[in-house]
Structures are given as structure tokens and as C-alpha cells.
């Protein structure tokens, strides 16, 4: 067979075909954006966007604003009012959405706060005898009587927290 007489390869066809578009609104930080999502016929599978995914109604940037406001100590109502003031009424999201995001933050934080410490906390320490010279001798303070000698040096257990340690964490959020 020559190249001109070769059979053409068959194209793999996916089941179903596009049959027009359906409008879908996604809330963003600049306001609602209307997208055209393809409608499919001849299949039971729904169209899934690679950019937004399935059933997405708000962007991650808008959700990040809600999280940042709530973490800074604003109540759920204050978060909603702040979004409405900053982004306008069209970009504002519903009370239930703000409440769901804030509840998810509380749940995630409480799970983190109640994790077992034995698995995640280790303290490095060293035993230093007083004769090592690493621990300075205690000097007498001005409150000691004249001529009194300081107490004898005793062995010390030196402990320091790991590098990631900052401060003790607060209790769970109620």
C-alpha cells in the first residue's frame, strides 16, 4: 500500500456530544463572572471544567479573604459585612457560606489543638556536670551577707526547645 492509499486512522470518539452552553456564575473578588459551561447530550456524564472543577461557585481567593478575616478575630457577621464593604454587594457571599467556612476553620483548628503531643514534641537536652566549665559559677548577690559564700555548683540539666517551637498554643476555640 502506498501512503496515498493508506486507510485513515479512526478517531477515538468520546460518548456524547456538546449541545450548546449553559450559563454558570462564579463569585470572584472582582464580582460575579458568568461562564458558559458546555451541555452534553448522548451521555450521562456531566461536563467537568479543568479550571474550576465541578459545582464551583466561588474562587479560592474569595475563600481566602473569609479565612483571613475570621482568623484575625472578626465574627461571622463582621466577615460578611467586611466583604460587602470591600467588594460590593455583588461580590458578597451568603451568610451560610461564610458560616460554613468559619466552622470548617474551627473544626480544623480544634483537631490540631487536640493532637497527641507525644508524637509531635521532642525536647533536646544535655547533662552538664559543674566541673565542665560550661556553666558559670554563681556570683554572690548584693542581698547575701558579707563574707558568705555562694552555694556550691550543682549539676544542671540544660534543655532547649526544638527549632520549630515558638510559644505554648492556646486552648481550643469555642
> Per residue in 105-155, pLDDT tens?
888 888 888 877 666 666 555 556 655 555 555 555 555 566 666 555 555
Whether residue 17 contacts residue 40, with contact meaning beta carbons closer than 8 Å, is answered with yes
Residue 127 belongs to some domain of the structure: no
Q: Say if 28 falls within a structural domain.
A: yes
Cα–Cα distance measured from residue 103 to residue 109, given in angstroms and rounded to the nearest whole number: 10
Q: How many domains does the chain have?
A: 1
The answer as to whether 73 is a domain residue is yes
The CA distance from 170 to 174, in Å, is 12
- Expressed as residue numbers, the domain containing 63 is 17-113
pTM for the structure as a whole = 0.39
Q: Alpha-carbon distance 21 to 18, whole Å?
A: 8
37 and 49 Cβ atoms separated by less than 8 Å: yes
Amino acid at each position: 500500500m502506498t501512503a496515498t492509499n493508506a486507510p485513515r486512522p479512526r478517531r477515538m470518539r468520546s460518548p456524547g456530544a456538546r449541545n450548546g452552553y449553559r450559563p454558570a456564575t462564579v463569585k470572584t473578588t472582582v464580582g460575579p463572572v458568568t461562564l458558559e459551561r458546555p451541555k452534553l447530550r448522548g451521555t450521562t456524564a456531566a461536563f467537568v471544567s479543568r479550571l474550576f472543577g465541578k459545582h464551583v461557585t466561588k474562587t479560592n481567593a474569595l475563600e481566602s479573604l473569609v479565612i483571613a478575616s475570621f482568623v484575625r478575630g472578626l465574627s461571622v457577621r463582621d466577615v460578611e459585612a467586611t466583604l460587602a464593604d470591600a467588594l460590593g454587594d455583588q461580590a458578597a457571599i451568603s451568610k451560610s457560606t461564610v458560616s460554613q467556612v468559619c466552622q470548617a476553620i474551627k473544626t480544623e483548628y480544634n483537631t490540631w489543638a487536640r493532637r497527641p503531643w507525644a508524637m509531635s514534641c521532642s525536647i533536646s537536652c544535655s547533662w552538664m556536670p559543674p566541673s565542665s566549665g560550661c556553666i558559670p559559677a554563681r556570683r554572690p548577690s548584693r542581698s547575701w551577707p558579707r563574707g558568705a559564700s555562694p552555694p556550691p555548683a550543682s549539676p544542671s540539666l540544660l534543655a532547649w526547645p526544638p527549632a520549630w517551637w515558638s510559644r505554648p498554643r492556646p486552648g481550643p476555640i469555642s
